[in-house]
Structure 1
Amino acid sequence: MSEAKPIRTLFCIAVQQNFFDLPFSQIGPVWKAFGTMMKGISELPGVKILGMLDDDETMVGTSPTGFPWTAYIMADVPDRETVRQACNLFRTVPVGDTDERLWKYCRVEARMGRALEVPTNL
C-alpha cells in the first residue's frame, strides 16, 4: 500500500477594512497576531511550508470580496483536518490584550489539490 500523499494547499489571505481603519498606533498587535498565525500553521504536525507571498507592494488597501488576495501561504498538508485547523487559527489567535481575534482583520480561504510537476519527458 502506498503512503498517502500530502494535500497541496494554498491559503489565500485577505486583509479587511477593519485593519485599515485602525490608528497607526494600534496596528502592531494585529501584525503580531498575524505572525502567530503563520507560526501556528508552520508548527501543525506534518505541515511543510513551501513558500509565502505578500503582494502589498502592488496591491495596496483592502482585498475586495474575491480576488485579489493580499497574502498567500503554499504548503503541503497531511490531511483536510489539518487544513481546517490552520484556517481555525484565524478564529482563535487573539489580537493583543483585547477580546478580539485575528478574523476581525483578516479572512482566509484554503484551496486544496494535488501537486503538479513540470513534465521532463517532452
Structure 2
Amino acid sequence: MTEREPLSPLSTSFPSSRKVSAGELEVPQREIALTNGEVLHTYDTTGPQGHDPAKGLPPRRAAWIARRVARGDRNFSQMHCARRGEITEEMRFVALRENVDAEFVRSEIAAGRAIIPA
C-alpha cells in the first residue's frame, strides 16, 4: 500500500486567497487577491475547517430554529415557510451563497423546484 503525503494547507497551495465569512449569516466565501490589487469574492467549496470531528460542527441553525419555536411555529419545513411567503434565514443564506435574490430562492422552494438540505 502506498503512503499518501499529507495535503498542504490551503494558504500554502493558494497564497493569494483566504477564507472569509460574508454578512450577518456568515456565508463562507473565498477572497482572492488579484494581481491588479482588486479582490474577488467567490463561492468557497472547502467546507468547514478547524473543528474537532468528535464534537461535530457548531449548530449554525440553532438560533434560527429557536426563534421559530418561540413564536409558536410547529411546521419547520422550508416549503411550508416559502408557501406562506416567508423568507427564512436558510433561504437568505442560500441566496447570498449562490448570488441570487432571496425572493427567487423562496419562489423556487414554494414551487417545489428547489430544496435546502438540512
Larger Rg: 2
| TM-score, length basis structure 1 | 0.27
Q: Hey, which of these two has a bigger chunk of strand by percent? A: 1
| TM-score, length basis structure 2 | 0.27
Pick 1 or 2: higher relative contact order, CA cutoff 8 A, min separation 6: 1
